[in-house]
Amino acid sequence: MLAYNPFSDLGAFIPSFAMQAFLIAMVLLVIGGVVLDMMHKKNVKYFFENAQKAKKSATRELSSGEKIAIISKTVASDIMTSSEFCTFQRRAAHLLGMYGTIIFWVTSAMLIFSYSTPSSSAPSMLPMLWHIGALMTCVGGFWFWFSIRVNVSAEGHPWYHVMFADLFVLALLASQSTALLWSITQGAGSALSDLFLILFIVSNVVLFGGVYWSKFAHMFYKPGAAIQKHLAEADGSNSNLPSPADKPKQFGLGIRRESPKNY
C-alpha cells in the first residue's frame, strides 16, 4: 500500500495539467492569504518597527559572525527541533506534524508534476514518503487535538469546542486523513474512493483558501520572531523588556506548585 501512487491512476480520469493547475492555485491562495493577513494585521510592520526601536536601546553592536551564529543556532534549535516547547509531548506532536506535512507536500508536488499519468512509474520511495508523511501528520495532529490541546480541567472546554484559530489544524488533518483514505480505497478498487477524493480536494481548498482566517500565516512569522528575540538578547536591547531578575525566588513554588497537565 505504501508504494502505491494514487496520482498515477487518477491521471486516467483527470489530466495531469488539471492536477498541476490545482496545486499552483493552492500556492497562489497561500500567497494571497498571507499578503492579506500582513495588510490587515500589520504583523510585519509591527515586527520591523519594534526591531528598529529595540536597536536604539542595544548595549553592544553584534558582528556579522555573531549574527550568523545566533541565526544558525536559532534555526537549528527553535525552528528545526522546536526546543521552545516545554513538554516532550507537545514538542513531539509538533515535530511529527511539521515534518510529516513538509514531506507530504513536497512529495505531492513531485508526484503530481512528474508521475501523474497512467503510464508513469514513480520510484517506490516517493509514494512511500507521501504515505508516511500523511501518517506522521495524522499521528502528531490527532495526538495534539485529543490529548494536548484539550484542557477540560482548566478551561472547561470539550474536545469538540472549535474556534477559527483551529481552522488550520482541522483542515490539515482532514486533508491528510482523506488523502490516506482516498489512496487506500482507490488502490483497493472501492467505490468510496471518489467520495474521499472529493473530501481531499475540498479540505485542501479550505486549508489553503482559509489562510487569512487561520493560523497558517503564523508559521511564516514565527521563525523571524524567534531570530529577532535571540538577536535582541545578545545585543542587550532585550526587545525593550526589563532585564531578567537575578534574585533567588523568595515566594514559594508559585506556578511550579503543580505540574502542568496540558501545556
Band of the pLDDT at 113, cuts 50, 70, 90?
Answer: very high
In this model, does residue 247 exceed pLDDT 60? Answer: no
In a domain, 165, yes or no: yes
Does some domain include residue 243? no
For residue 4, name the pLDDT band (cuts at 50, 70, 90).
very high
pLDDT tens for each residue of 157-176: 676 777 777 889 999 999 99
Give φ, ψ of 219 to 5 degrees: -65, -20
C-alpha span between 222 and 240 (Å, rounded) = 19
Residue 191, Cβ density class (10 Å: 0-12 exposed, 13-18 middle, ≥19 buried):
exposed
Residue 143 lies in a domain: yes
**CB of 167 within 8 A of CB of 206?**
yes
3-state secondary structure string, 60-82?
CCCCHHHHHHHHHHHHHHHHCCC
- Per-residue pLDDT tens digits for 169-226: 999 999 999 999 999 999 999 999 999 999 999 999 999 998 888 877 777 777 877 8
Strand ranges for the chain from DSSP E: none
Nearest to 261 by CA among 124, 144, 154, 140: 154
Residue 251: partners with Cβ closer than 8 Å, 6 or more residues away: none
Which structural domain range is residue 29 located in? 6-55+74-151+158-237
**pLDDT for the residue 53:** 74
Asked whether residue 237 carries a pLDDT value surpassing 60, the answer given is yes
Residue 34 falls within a domain, yes or no? Answer: yes
Q: Which of 217, 202, 133, 216 is nearest to 169 (CA)?
A: 216
In angstroms, rounded to a whole number, what is the distance separating the alpha carbons of residues 4 and 70?
A: 43
Residue with cell 544558525: 72
**Are 175 and 198 in contact, with CB atoms under 8 Å apart?**
no
Mean pLDDT value across residues 71-83: 85
In a domain, 124, yes or no: yes
Domain count, the chain: 1
Q: Specify if 162 maps to a domain.
A: yes
261 phi and psi angles, rounded to 5 deg: -100, -30
pLDDT at 263: 45
pLDDT-derived band of residue 79, with 50, 70 and 90 as boundaries? confident
Asked if residue 91 belongs to a domain, the reply is yes
Domain-embedded: residue 89: yes
